[in-house]
Amino acid sequence: MEINLVKEGKLVLYNVAKNFFNLIFLPTGKFTLLLKSPYLWFFVVYGIFVVCGIFRFLMFNSSLIPLLYLILVAIYSIYNPFGSIHSHRFKVVLIPFEVFFLGSWITKRRDIR
């Protein structure tokens, strides 16, 4: 079977990017299905808050923690570009980071690090 590197490469990159965003916004691989449930909307709004928290950290504070978070997501996206039934388990590992971003954003105490 012949493999078209450009075509397959595009597909892999597309899936890596899709996986990256799916892992940041909680309902992995499901929210692309038109977001019919209010439960999914809730987690997308939550994800937007988390992304705002990360950007706030990156803009105003040269902390390693948001970089560590994004590196973890990137590694997982590259490692498993076509998704998995277990990818939602990886999201659990990211929750402490997100609580940290949101918590320190709410209190405006970013000096704790």
Q: Does 96 bind another protein (CB under 8 A)?
A: yes
Q: Does 52 bind another protein (CB under 8 A)?
A: no
| Residue from 44, 65, 70, 74 in contact with another protein (CB under 8 A) | 65
As to burial, measured by CB atoms within 10 angstroms (0-12 exposed, 13-18 middle, 19+ buried), residue 13 is exposed
Least Å distance, CB 59 to another protein, is 18
Indicate the residue among 15 and 87 with the shorter CB distance to another protein.
87
Helices (H) and strands (E) in the chain, counts: 4, 0
Least Å distance, CB 50 to another protein, is 11
Cβ-Cβ contacts under 8 Å for 41 (sequence gap 6 or more): 35
Structure tokens at 43: 């987690």
Q: Does 73 bind another protein (CB under 8 A)?
A: no
